Every structure is written in structure tokens, then in C-alpha cells.
């Protein structure tokens, strides 16, 4: 199925959904500190969404053979790449880094974004990883212009990560966003350099196309493992990971980030 192009009016609704996600991000960011549980951050996000008339997209989500997801956010600490489940027993410690992902449904449209944040003072290597992941996201957004293709966005992410010396997760990609949380196109974080090896549809970018770009960089090897909870994905070698994400619209004037405050 081809990407669903959004009208100006639909983009305005997506911008509102994205703004609500940004407000939830800021509320959680202010609460991150040693001694705080990931469940407390989940409660903060849920309150923000519902105070703004939105509903969480992750809560109850059950694709494929996954069990229903039990929370509003994903909270992934240190070597957890994505999909970490919030828990009262998971208490943040000084030096941790935490990736927080939120998606909401507002008036029929989805906003989806993620960020990684330090817990207190963190190591120089952890801070460098976060900065490199954010830079990869910015490179991919800059490549989201008319005349380019999804492969150009993937190449921008991959080149930025490689220049910084990090691996990228190939198993998890960005994705189209609109009335559904996951639409076409897939937006990978890697590029093999050979069109014959593309395992996803390489669409030309068009006005009204909307997608979430979400680079996930890894300080060590890119081998991953899904835990027994059916959701949490970790690095096999225990290396740190970082994850940043924005929902972006293609416009005649360049990329429009829909998930800013």
C-alpha cells in the first residue's frame, strides 16, 4: 500500500497531535532524576495526553505475536534499545540514560516522537552517543526534501552514524504516521549501497507524505535480543543505545517537524 498523502487540514491536526506529544516529553524530561521510577514517568505522560483530549497509542497495542503493550510510553534504559516496559521497580540511577517514546491519537491523527535523556551526571561516552543520535536524526530530516527518496533519508542516517563510529539497528525502522501509528513508508536507518539489497519500498518523497524518523544508535555491536516480556529489546553485548524520533511532513518548502512544542 502506497503512503497516504495528507491535506493541509490533516497536517494541522497532526501538528496538534505532535504538540501534545512534545508537551508530554517536556513534562517527563523535568521529572527525570535518580530515584524516579519509569512507572512514574509513564503516569506523567498519560496525564498530559488525557488533559489535552488525546489517547495513548501504545497502551493495549498488540501487533503480531506480541502481548498487549501495558503502558502509555516505552522507557528504555541504558542497553535497552526500544520498547522497555515502565515499572515501579525500575528505578533510575545516577549515570543512566533513558529513551522515552510517546505516541498519541488526537482527533483521528497520530503524533509520535522519542528522545533519550541523561539521569544526573553521565559519562562523556554516553553524552557523545546521545549527541550523535540526535545529529543522525537532524541529517535524516534535512534529507527529507522533494527530489529525494526514502533511500536518501536512510543514507543520511547511516552516514551520520558511521562518521561518529556507531552501529545502527537494522531490525527496527521509522515508519509512516497518519490516521494509523504505522503506515507506509518504512524509513530505515541503514543503507547497503546496493538497490538489489533493499528489503523495503523506496518511495519518491511527495508533498503530504508524513513519517516518523527514528535513528537508534548503538555504542557496540548491533546484535539484539528480545526479552521474555515480549517487548523489551536489548543489545546482546550490553552496550549503550540511544534513540531520537520526530514525525515529519514533506512540504514544498522543505521538511516540517510535526512533533515540536
User: Domain coordinates of the chain in residue numbers?
Assistant: 8-257
Spatial separation of the C-alpha atoms in residues 42 and 46, rounded to whole Å? 6
What pLDDT, on the 0 to 100 scale, is given for residue 136? 98
What pLDDT, on the 0 to 100 scale, is given for residue 195? 60
| Beta-carbon contacts of residue 84 (< 8 Å; ≥ 6 apart) | 38, 74, 75, 76, 77, 90, 99, 231, 232
Considering only CA atoms, which of 82, 53, 52, 86 is closest in space to residue 72?
86
What pLDDT, on the 0 to 100 scale, is given for residue 209? 98
**8 Å CB contact between 72 and 49:** yes
* pTM to 2 decimal places: 0.96
What pLDDT, on the 0 to 100 scale, is given for residue 112? 98
What pLDDT, on the 0 to 100 scale, is given for residue 194? 65
Burial class (CB in 10 A: 0-12, 13-18, 19+), 60: exposed
Look at the domain 8-257 and name its fold.
Answer: Creatine Amidinohydrolase (3.90.230)
| Beta-carbon contacts of residue 157 (< 8 Å; ≥ 6 apart) | 136, 137, 139, 140, 168, 188, 189, 190, 191, 213, 215
**8 Å CB contact between 247 and 212:** yes
What pLDDT, on the 0 to 100 scale, is given for residue 192? 75
Q: What is the mean pLDDT of each run of 10 residues along the chain (261 residues)?
A: 95 98 98 98 98 98 96 98 98 98 98 98 98 98 97 96 95 96 96 68 96 98 96 98 98 98 93
Summarised one tens digit per residue, pLDDT across range 226-239 is: 999 999 999 999 99
Phi, psi dihedral angles at 95 (to 5 degrees): 95, -10
Amino acid at each position: 500500500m502506497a503512503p497516504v498523502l495528507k491535506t493541509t487540514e490533516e497536517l494541522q491536526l497532526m501538528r496538534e497531535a505532535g504538540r501534545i506529544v512534545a508537551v508530554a516529553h517536556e513534562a517527563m524530561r523535568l521529572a527525570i532524576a535518580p530515584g524516579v521510577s519509569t512507572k512514574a514517568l509513564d503516569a506523567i505522560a498519560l496525564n498530559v495526553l488525557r488533559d489535552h483530549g488525546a489517547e495513548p497509542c501504545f497502551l493495549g497495542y498488540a501487533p503480531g505475536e506480541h502481548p498487549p503493550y501495558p503502558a502509555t510510553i516505552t522507557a528504555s534504559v541504558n542497553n535497552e534499545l526500544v520498547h522497555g516496559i515502565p515499572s515501579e521497580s525500575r528505578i533510575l540511577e545516577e549515570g543512566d540514560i533513558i529513551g522515552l517514546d510517546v505516541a498519541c491519537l488526537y482527533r483521528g491523527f497520530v503524533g509520535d516522537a522519542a528522545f533519550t535523556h541523561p539521569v544526573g551526571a553521565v559519562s562523556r561516552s554516553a553524552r557523545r552517543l546521545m549527541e550523535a543520535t540526535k545529529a543522525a536524526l537532524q541529517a535524516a530530516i534535512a534529507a527529507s526534501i522533494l527530489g529525494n527518496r526514502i533511500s536518501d533519508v536512510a543514507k543520511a542516517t547511516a552516514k551520520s552514524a558511521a562518521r561518529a563510529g556507531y552501529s545502527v539497528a537494522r531490525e527496527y525502522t521509522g515508519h509512516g504516521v497518519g490516521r494509523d501509528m504505522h503506515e507506509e513508508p518504512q524509513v530505515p536507518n541503514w543503507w547497503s549501497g546496493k538497490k538489489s539489497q533493499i528489503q523495503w519500498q523506496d518511495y519518491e518523497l511527495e508533498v503530504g507524505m508524513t513519517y516518523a524518523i527514528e535513528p537508534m544508535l548503538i555504542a557496540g555491536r548491533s546484535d539484539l535480543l528480545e526479552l521474555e516480556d515480549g517487548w523489551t529489546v536489548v543489545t546482546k553485548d550490553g552496550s549503550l543505545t540511544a534513540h531520537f524520533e520526530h514525525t515529519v511532513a514533506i512540504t514544498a518548502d522543505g521538511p516540517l517537524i510535526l512533533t515540536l512544542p
